[in-house]
Amino acid sequence: MKKVILFAILFSVSKEYGFCEEVYKPLLTDEKSWKVVTTNTCPIDHNEKVSCIEILGDTIVNGHVCKVLVHYNDEYTNKTVLMEEDKIIYHYDESTKTFLPMMNFNLHEGDQVGDWGRVLCEDYVDVNKINYRRLAIGYEEQEPLAYWVEGIGASKDYWITPFDKHIGDYSYMSECGENGKVVFTQNDFSKNEERAYMPVLAEGRLWELSYTYRDTWQDIPDTYMTIAVDGDTIVDGRKCKKLLVDYRNLTEVVYPQYIVAYETGGRVYRIDGDREEHLVMNINLHQGDAVDIVQTVQKEDTVIVDGIKRKRLIIDSGVDHCDGEYLYYLVEGIGMSKDEFVNLGLTDENIYFHRLIACYDNGKCVFSAADFLKEGTSGLNMPKVNCPKNDQIYDLQGRKRGSIRKGEIFIRNGKKYINR
């Protein structure tokens, strides 16, 4: 079933963000253009399609003056007829020969928006010294599903669908242009939204993990463990958190262990037995940043779980964790999804492979392994770069090595290996 692009905009001029005299500035003007990205709900899908939307000119349909829009990419071209009257955008349906209302900027906070909930918030966003009226659309007590911005368009999917999409695909507007100049981007839709940083090492937090041997040929069942924030401690004058580790289905008796860690400025550090600090997580990184000499942030976006919006980083670790898995995830206020990164260096990273099963706050599950894979917003994939081959061996600190001990991890040609 074909879906069409649906852009509807009303621009309101106000004084200092107040709802004063409204001057309707139409969306459907000949100088407007848009770029829309269609991707998959799987956040690691690199098959994104970028389409362009332009206004070709006027046409008359059933006595109404309308605009003809063309949306195209390297695989697809289609034309759509839209009409703009009384602050409402209509799409002309060829099959029924009628105009169907798509977006209505007469709405205000609290008004119903079809099957997509209500207008959760009505405010203004300042971009390049221009105030745009903004409507946040969604359900009560949840983060917005999308934004409508007057003079710009809709932030994502439900009102912008540039071409036929497979199940699981969704679209978002990457930018809006006017007279060939970009005036609004995807990040501007949520601009000026203020929220407090959510720490990983929160009191009452508990992580449930599984771990097994990296060698998948070994017929050894998974072992389960929990790590819980268990009060404070002081190390060299710094206030830290004690993390209690409890093993579950081991046959041998293992006494509870403690990890000492602290969090500051979006970074989590582990303190080892020699009181040395080791950076474990850094949520301040952005798309394209290097985590270390091997790892790179491939994508940065936002994931919403139970109405809570969290920053998410998708990282190429450079090591085959298990059966071809190279990626892992870092989520604000939760932690990392897999491998040695989730246990804060508790066990030998050369031997074990870890996965986060769930994260709890005071006994309530707030994030599960499946949530790492949820559809995100405002994310763009980085292009892959083919690095030149270099057979030199390096250790994990980036130092050249002539030989590697058995069981030690080493780096060659940008990938991690284990010397077996």
Query: Can you tell me the mean pLDDT for 247-260?
Result: 68
Query: Would you tell me how many other CB atoms lie within 10 Å of the CB of residue 141?
Result: 8
Question: With 80 as the cut, is the pLDDT of residue 96 above it?
Answer: yes
SS3 category, 409: strand
Query: Same structural domain for residues 19 and 168?
Result: yes
Q: Is the dihedral of CA 189, 192, 124, 31 positive or negative?
A: negative
Cα diameter, the chain:
83
178-234 pLDDT tens trace: 998 999 998 888 887 656 678 899 999 999 988 766 555 444 556 788 889 999 999
Query: Same structural domain for residues 345 and 393?
Result: no
Query: Would you tell me how many other CB atoms lie within 10 Å of the CB of residue 164?
Result: 12
- CA atoms within 13 A of residue 159's CA, in its CB half-sphere: 26
Domain boundary among the residues 190, 221, 251 is at: 190
Question: What tokens appear for 108 in the block?
Answer: 């205000």
Query: Same structural domain for residues 374 and 308?
Result: yes
If we measure between CA atoms, which residue out of 274, 291, 280, 282 comes closest to residue 344? 280
Query: Same structural domain for residues 295 and 186?
Result: no
- Give the C-alpha separation, 117 to 101, whole Å: 16
Instruction: State the pLDDT at residue 151.
Output: 86
- Mean of all residue pLDDT scores within the chain: 75
Query: Same structural domain for residues 44 and 149?
Result: yes
Question: What tokens appear for 2 in the block?
Answer: 């074909």
Beta strand pairing status for 130-138 and 118-127?
antiparallel
In a domain, 345, yes or no: yes
If we measure between CA atoms, which residue out of 294, 293, 335, 328 comes closest to residue 314? 328
Whether 369 and 337 have beta carbons less than 8 Å apart is answered as yes
Query: For the chain, what is the domain count?
Result: 3
- Give the C-alpha separation, 275 to 302, whole Å: 35
Query: Same structural domain for residues 77 and 161?
Result: yes
Provide the domain limits for residue 277.
205-385
Query: Can you tell me the mean pLDDT for 395-408?
Result: 58
Whether 229 and 241 have beta carbons less than 8 Å apart is answered as yes
- Give the C-alpha separation, 37 to 186, whole Å: 10
Q: pLDDT band at residue 344, thresholds of 50, 70 and 90? A: low
If we measure between CA atoms, which residue out of 312, 352, 310 comes closest to residue 329? 312
Q: pLDDT band at residue 10, thresholds of 50, 70 and 90? A: very low
In a domain, 200, yes or no: no
Of 43-47, 166-170, 274-278, 404-408, the range with the lowest mean pLDDT is 43-47
Question: What tokens appear for 32 in the block?
Answer: 């407007």
Whether 339 and 405 have beta carbons less than 8 Å apart is answered as no
In a domain, 195, yes or no: no
In a domain, 346, yes or no: yes
Query: Same structural domain for residues 242 and 296?
Result: yes
Query: Same structural domain for residues 116 and 241?
Result: no
Q: Which residue has the higher pLDDT, 157 or 109?
A: 109
- Give the C-alpha separation, 255 to 249, whole Å: 13
Q: Which residue has the higher pLDDT, 40 or 317?
A: 317
In a domain, 236, yes or no: yes
In a domain, 2, yes or no: no
Distances (CA, A) of 251 to 155, 221, 248: 53, 12, 9
Tell me the CA end-to-end span of the chain in Å, nearest whole number: 53
In a domain, 3, yes or no: no
In a domain, 219, yes or no: yes
Query: Same structural domain for residues 18 and 159?
Result: yes
Domain boundary among the residues 190, 218, 248 is at: 190
- Give the C-alpha separation, 264 to 156, whole Å: 34
pTM, whole model, 2 decimals? 0.51
Query: Can you tell me the mean pLDDT for 5-17?
Result: 29
99-147 pLDDT tens trace: 988 888 899 888 999 877 889 888 888 898 888 889 988 877 666 878 9
Query: Same structural domain for residues 99 and 129?
Result: yes
Query: Same structural domain for residues 380 and 273?
Result: yes
- CA atoms within 13 A of residue 370's CA, in its CB half-sphere: 2
Query: Same structural domain for residues 262 and 186?
Result: no
